[in-house]
Structure 1
Amino acid sequence: MPPSRLPAHHRYRARLRRLQQRLSLRNRLVLSHVMVLLLALLAMAAISALIEVWLGFDDIEGDVVLQIGLLFGVAAAFPVSVALSRFLLRPLDRVRAATRRLAEGHYDDVLELPSEPGLAALVEDVNTLAAALADTQRRRARLISEVAHEMRTPITLLRGQIEGVADGIFVPDEAMFASLADDLHRLQRLAGDLSSLSRSEEAAFDLHLEPTDVATLARATADRLRPQYDDQVVTLAVDASTPVGAFCDPDRITQILVNLLGNALAASHQRGHVALSVHTEPPPGRHVIVRVTDDGIGIAPHDLERIFHRFERLEPPGRPPAAGGSGIGLTIARGIARAHGGDITAQSAGPGKGATFTLRLPQERAAGGGTPPLSR
């Protein structure tokens, strides 16, 4: 129906909505104060005029007239100000109610965006917060399930083997003890991962900083993992011949390198290629740059940050997930890097196009100045 044919009250409400969309909350508040002030002045002037006309007060009694008019002006402005405040604060009340529901654990409520741009941005942020909290809640529930699953298998095996030995069913030989040790190692690794995750989220890593050649650490880590690369027929190229010094915890940095190289191997196809490089940032930067690049399964743009969330594991279509992974390795690695004052970031051109993980570590100056001495 054309706007000219709409009823008068519908046209008025449409104009009011258009006006609300054009006015920000700040302008609405200013306009409401002006309206209340004008109404008070008009009421005061009208009452004063009526009193002078009806009661015949002369100039000597003008103060009394003014006081009575002011009283009636305030009385008239009060209900209008209450009505305007309720009208203006109604969207904020909805946001407050939504935040209270968020605090109670109701993360699925989605607020409708108001017409006012400033409030719409606030409501959109609240909806984003609710979605993030809901995702965190889902991952926490999955955490409990996955930890229980990871612990259940080795505990069941340990119990069965120990009961079998106690009942005389199994013979306690070298193979039996090797199997028991393997199950205990899985439990120990899981406990260590959970402990590291807790320290990572609390930023409470106990670092033992010392002058370290990061290039030497990279070469040693690559040599340690090279047999696994050879087994899967994946080429590992290392560019770390030049010493690169930094003050860091060598054990923790090795933990990061093991995680990055292990993930690159898991993401690589047979006869794939992985490159590890270590160099210093060009001047005036004072950082060590470690890059691990693979030509494997790649990462979708929306997953580049999600992979650093705890218990997030990418499962490409048609490819089974890596066995034994807890999904917190990258979370711990980033926590260690940030505890050093650095960071880890991921880059990828998309699925099937490989990925690059970059570790940045700050180079601190030694007490006598210059580049930190290198440990050999």
Structure 2
Amino acid sequence: MKARLPLRLFASHTAVAVVGAIVAYVTVRLLAPHLFDQRMGMMSGDMHGTGPATGAQVHAAFQTALDTALLVGVLASVATAGVLAAFATRRLLRPLDAVRTATRQIATGRYEVDVPLPSEPELAALATDVNSLGHALADTETRRTRLLGDVAHEMRTPLTALDGYVEGLIDGVFTASPDTLASLSEELRRLHRLADDLSGLSRAQEQRLDLALADADLAELARHAAARLSPQFDDAHVTLVFDTDTVVPVHADPDRITQVLTNLLGNALLATPAGGTVTITARRSGNRGEVAVTDTGVGLAEEDIERVFERFYRAPGRPRRSSGSGVGLTIARGIARGHGGDVTASSRGRGQGASFTLVLPLRPHP
């Protein structure tokens, strides 16, 4: 297990100091006697025939030798410590330089970065975070590009139809009959619905929803949403079952939550063939309230469980009986998260039905 970076820095600084002290000691220990002997020899030569050296002269010789040895020892210690410090600093800065290079690449739009992981756990965690950031930004850029393409695709069909009708009216192919004008109006409503969905999607994802919060019963909101869609279920010959007998108190925007529930029920209806069943279950789970919409329809593959919440994504094999823009689940999740909750999906596989669950925090007791 690698030591933590603060401990390693402390150990490296201590090692530099200890090595410097050892170098100074060894230098003085080896050099001082030699310098003293040399100094004494020089004094003996200078005082030849004048008698032995006095105590003051010996003291001066010792002082000179000691000062010279200390000066050389300190210089050697500083040089050694500098070399060791430069090595430790270079080893520490190398991964930081790699991180800086990666962040500059990310700033210029090159998101596919791959910072090598250093041996220090803290620096490795930093490098991992930078790599994750780059991959997340790359994924966001890919989704943004795909969003533009999807919006253009969704607008192309009604615009092409409108263009055809208008050219037909100009050329006299069509007459301005109620049926022709009704077709024009339908295509215009489709464009208007797409614009509204995109506006709602933007507000939901940027958490700019205008929420009129009030005390409400989540189970009652689910019951009302089911009652409003009951005729559509009857027309499609799909059985709608409401399974709850409890109160689920929440503090939420009733209109927004009804929008979420309506979307979940509408998607379940589209995914369920005639003769199938859609079940709504409302319950409490700890400090949360849940409404699960479970169908016996086409189901979801494991890789589609999260992707169905992406903008304009439609799972393979899903029926296209709706003229919706494909952002309903994205908006629903955004609304739920704006309330502090979420919308999740689960399925045992294709052909085995799916379940979408709205989760909201329960209203605290007074």
Q: Is 1:296 the counterpart of 2:276 in the alignment?
A: no
Q: Where does structure 2 lack aligned partners over 5 or more consecutive residues?
A: 37-60
- Cross-structure match for 2:256: 252
**Aligned partners of 1:125 and 1:353: how far apart in 2?**
38
Are the aligned partners of 2:248 and 2:362 in contact in 1 as well (CA < 8 Å)?
A: no
**Aligned partners of 1:302 and 1:122: how far apart in 2?**
29
- The structure 1 residue matched to 2:141, chosen from 137, 142, 149, is 137
For this pair of structures, how many residues does the alignment match?
Answer: 342
After superposition, the C-alpha distances for 1:260-296 in whole angstroms (9 at most, x for unaligned) are 11222233344322111234x26xx454321111233
Residue 258 of structure 1 and its aligned partner are, at CA, apart by 1.5
Residue 251 of structure 1 and its aligned partner are, at CA, apart by 1.7
- Cross-structure match for 2:308: 307
Q: Is 1:109 the counterpart of 2:110 in the alignment?
A: no
Question: For 2:241, what is the secondary structure of its paired residue?
Answer: strand
After superposition, the C-alpha distances for 1:143-176 in whole angstroms (9 at most, x for unaligned) are 0001011112212222332343344432222212
**Aligned partners of 1:196 and 1:205: how far apart in 2?**
8
- Look up the equivalent residue of 1:276 and give its one-letter code: I
**Aligned partners of 2:234 and 2:262: how far apart in 1?**
16
Question: For 2:299, what is the secondary structure of its paired residue?
Answer: coil
Residue 48 of structure 1 and its aligned partner are, at CA, apart by 2.7
Task: Indicate the RMSD between aligned Cα atoms, in angstroms.
Answer: 3.1
Q: Is 1:48 the counterpart of 2:28 in the alignment?
A: yes
- Residues 164-313 of structure 1 aligned to structure 2 (within 5 Å): 164-240=168-244, 244-279=248-283, 281=284, 285=286, 287-313=288-314
Are the aligned partners of 2:300 and 2:348 in contact in 1 as well (CA < 8 Å)?
A: yes
**Aligned partners of 2:206 and 2:181: how far apart in 1?**
37
- The structure 2 residue matched to 1:148, chosen from 149, 152, 156, is 152
Question: For 2:352, what is the secondary structure of its paired residue?
Answer: coil
- Cross-structure match for 1:374: none
Overall identity of the aligned pairs, in %: 49
CA distance 1:82–1:202, shift in 2 (3 Å) = same
Residue 198 of structure 1 and its aligned partner are, at CA, apart by 1.2
TM-score (norm 1): 0.78
- Look up the equivalent residue of 2:342 and give its one-letter code: D
- Look up the equivalent residue of 2:271 and give its one-letter code: A
- Cross-structure match for 2:46: none
CA distance 1:76–1:147, shift in 2 (3 Å) = same
Question: For 1:108, what is the secondary structure of its paired residue?
Answer: coil
Q: Is 1:33 the counterpart of 2:20 in the alignment?
A: no
Larger radius of gyration: 2
- Cross-structure match for 1:157: 161
Are the aligned partners of 1:342 and 1:359 in contact in 2 as well (CA < 8 Å)?
A: yes
Deviates more, 1:45-54 or 1:173-182: 45-54
Q: Where does structure 1 lack aligned partners over 5 or more consecutive residues?
A: 1-20, 370-376
- Look up the equivalent residue of 1:47 and give its one-letter code: T
- Look up the equivalent residue of 1:153 and give its one-letter code: T
Question: For 1:58, what is the secondary structure of its paired residue?
Answer: helix
Residue 112 of structure 1 and its aligned partner are, at CA, apart by 4.2
